[in-house]
Amino acid sequence: MKDKRMPILVVGSTKGGAGKSTLAANITVARANALGKDGLVLLVDGDEQRTATTFSDIRTEEMEKLVPEKRKPQFHANCLYGASIRSQVRALAPRYKEIIIDCGGRDTGSLRAALTVADTLLIPVQPRSVDIWALDAMVALVKEAREINEDLRAVVVLNAADPAGKDNDDALEYIRAIPELEVLPIIIGRRKAFANATANGMAVTEYQPKDPKAIEELSNLIQALRAPVKVKV
C-alpha cells in the first residue's frame, strides 16, 4: 500500500477563479497544525499573482500578535517559478514532511514543472460550464506530465458548489467520464468562511465564528487526498 502522506501536492488549474489558492492555503495550515511543529510543511507560491505569499505574510503578522503559547505551528513559504520549481522542490523535499504548490490559473511553465515532481495534482472545479471546459487543457497537461512522472495522481474536487440544484450532479457526471482524472467523493460548498479565514491568514479550522460545515469539508478533502490510491478499471 502506498504511503498515505501526500509529500508533494500541487493545487492547480488552467482556469482562474476556481479557488485553488484558498484551498492550498487551507490545506497548508491544516497540515501544519496536524503535524504540530514549525517548519514541517512548505508552501510554494508558483503563481505570479503571489496570493499564497500574501496569505503567508498575513499569517505571520497575526501569529506574532499572539503570546507564544497561543501561536499555531508555522509553515515555511517560498516563491518559485518556471523550471526552478522542479529543481528546487526536488532539492527541498527531504527537509519537509509535506509540500503544497499553488500554481497560477493558466497554462504556465510553473504548472508544467510542478506536475513533473508532484505526487498528487488537485484540480478544483466549480460547477460551471467554463470550468468544465477547462478540464480538457488539464487532461492534456496530465498526459504530458505522466510521460515523465508516470505515478502522478490527478484528482478533481467540486469546489464552491451550489447548495442545491442539478448543476453539481451534471458537473460530476461529466468529470467521472474522464479516464485520466479521479473525482474525490466530497463536495466543497460556496462558503464565506473559506474566503474570510484566508483573508485573515487562517484556515477555516481556526477562524471564528466557526463554520462546522466548512471545517468538515476541509477535513474530508484532506482525508480523501491522503487515502490509498484507487485504480480505475
Kindly report, residue by residue over 94-146, the tens digit of the pLDDT: 999 999 999 977 899 999 999 999 999 999 999 999 899 989 999 999 999 99
Show Cβ contacts of residue 25 under 8 Å, excluding neighbours closer than 6 positions: 43, 51, 52, 55, 102, 198, 203
> Is CATH 3.40.50.300 the right assignment for the domain spanning 8-225?
yes
User: Can you state the percent helix, strand and coil of the chain, rounding each to 5?
Assistant: 45, 20, 35
Q: What is the pLDDT of residue 164?
A: 83
The rounded distance, in Å, linking the Cα atoms of 11 and 124 is 8
The rounded distance, in Å, linking the Cα atoms of 102 and 80 is 10
How many alpha carbons lie under 13 Å from residue 177 in its C-beta half-sphere? 8
The rounded distance, in Å, linking the Cα atoms of 214 and 37 is 24
Model confidence at 1: pLDDT above 90:
no
Beta bridge mates, 125 = 158
Mean pLDDT for 164-189 is 94
- Structural element, H or E, at residue 158: strand 153-161
Contact 99, 44 (CB under 8 A): yes
The residue type at 78: N
209 preceded by a cis bond (ω within 30 of 0): yes
How many residues make up the chain in this entry? 233
DSSP labels, 69-138: GGPPPPPEEEE--THHHHHHHHHHGGG-SEEEEEE-SS--HHHHHHHHH-SEEEEEE-SSHHHHHHHHHH
Model confidence at 158: pLDDT above 60:
yes
Q: What is the pLDDT of residue 233?
A: 41
pTM value surpassing 0.85:
yes
Q: What is the pLDDT of residue 165?
A: 80
Residues 38-75 have pLDDT tens digits of: 999 999 999 988 999 999 999 999 999 998 888 998 99
Contact 11, 100 (CB under 8 A): yes
CA dist 214 to 72, 120, 141, Å?
A: 20, 22, 30
Model confidence at 5: pLDDT above 50:
no
